[in-house]
Amino acid sequence: MSTVPVIAIDGPSASGKGTVAQRVAQALGFHYLDSGALYRIVALAAKRAGISWQDEAALADLVSTLDIRFEHGEIYVNGEQVSDAVRSEEMSRGASEVAVHPKVRQALLEVQRAFRKAPGLVADGRDMGSVVFPDAQIKVFLTARSHVRAERRYKQLMEKGIHANLAQILADIEARDARDMQRSAAPLQQCSDATLLDTSDMTIAQAVDGVLALYRRHSRGISK
Ligand code: DC
């Protein structure tokens, strides 16, 4: 088993876990894995190849044809930059749909584990602590009330000048939560050994400090 430290941050859509995970990685000089991006990439590549998001075997085969790279904050697939393309609302839905298939999850397992490199990794997703890195040194379940998450996403879109409807965003977030929690393969859940961090009434900086404090306590050998 690897001794390279992993901080696993799991939680629902729009909980802010991506931002928090990236900042924690930056503060510690660790690598960062956005596992949700991998499911988004599969959804996008499938759409382009004319493969249905329901075709489990074809989706799993597709994974082995993808050369995925994260470089300087951008996402490349087979040499093409797809950072914005994978972030669309359509691919948010597609990712959640392709993620229900056990063979797709299996095909992405080794891809994800390959990110565990010295001096350490911060990984965010839905099953980082439960399936991909069950031996992670720190496991955090980062969440916020669904109304708070919808408002954050709405503000983000407005700031980018993208027209958005708050009620629709809330409905989408709640539908995705339900699909991610109810699927039988690696559902979104709080592991019994994960620390709950509800950021509804926290700033990003406070959430980052919370995770860093857990890691420092762990490094000093003090139990949680
Ligand atoms: O974190 P995100 O919103 O980019 O994730 C997109 C979808 O991918 C999400 O609805 C569920 C799926 N996902 C998953 O099943 N397992 C992960 N480790 C990460 C994401």
Q: 35 alpha carbon to ligand 1 midpoint, in Å?
A: 7
| Mean pLDDT, range 40-53, rounded to an integer | 98
pTM of the model: 0.91
49 lies in a domain?
Answer: yes
Whether ligand 1 lies within 6 angstroms of the CB of 125 is answered as yes
224 lies in a domain?
Answer: no
Question: Per-residue pLDDT for 223 more than 60?
Answer: no
pLDDT band at 221 (very low <50, low <70, confident <90, very high): confident
pLDDT band at 138 (very low <50, low <70, confident <90, very high): very high
The lowest-confidence range among 20-24, 33-37, 86-90, 124-128 is 86-90
Q: What is the pLDDT of residue 224?
A: 44
**What is the secondary structure of 8-77 as a DSSP string?**
EEE--TTSSHHHHHHHHHHHHT-EEEEHHHHHHHHHHHHHHHT--TT-HHHHHHHHTT--EEEETTEEEE
1 lies in a domain?
Answer: no
The CB-side HSE value for 184 (13 A sphere, CA atoms) comes to 3
From 41, 90, 91, 96, mutation site for ligand 1 pocket: most ligand atoms within 8 A of C-beta: 96
Question: What backbone torsions phi and psi does residue 8 show, to the nearest 5 degrees?
Answer: -100, 125
120 lies in a domain?
Answer: yes
| Mean pLDDT, range 212-222, rounded to an integer | 88
- Please give the share of the chain, as a percent, with pLDDT higher than 90: 76
**Which residue in 144, 180, 113 sits closest to 19, CA to CA?**
144
Classify strands 6-10 and 138-143 as parallel, antiparallel or unpaired: parallel
Give the count of domains, the chain: 1
Q: What's the token pair of residue 44? A: 């996008």
Output the domain CATH number for residue 179. 3.40.50.300
Question: Per-residue pLDDT for 17 more than 50?
Answer: yes
pLDDT band at 4 (very low <50, low <70, confident <90, very high): very high
175 lies in a domain?
Answer: yes
55 lies in a domain?
Answer: yes
Q: What's the token pair of residue 154? A: 């709405």
- For residue 99, give the ligand 1 atom closest to its CA: 15
41 lies in a domain?
Answer: yes
Q: What is the pLDDT of residue 212?
A: 98
The domain in which residue 50 lies consists of: 6-217
Tens-digit pLDDT profile for residues 63-101? 999 999 998 889 999 999 999 999 888 998 899 899 999
222 lies in a domain?
Answer: no
From 39, 121, 141, 156, mutation site for ligand 1 pocket: most ligand atoms within 8 A of C-beta: 39
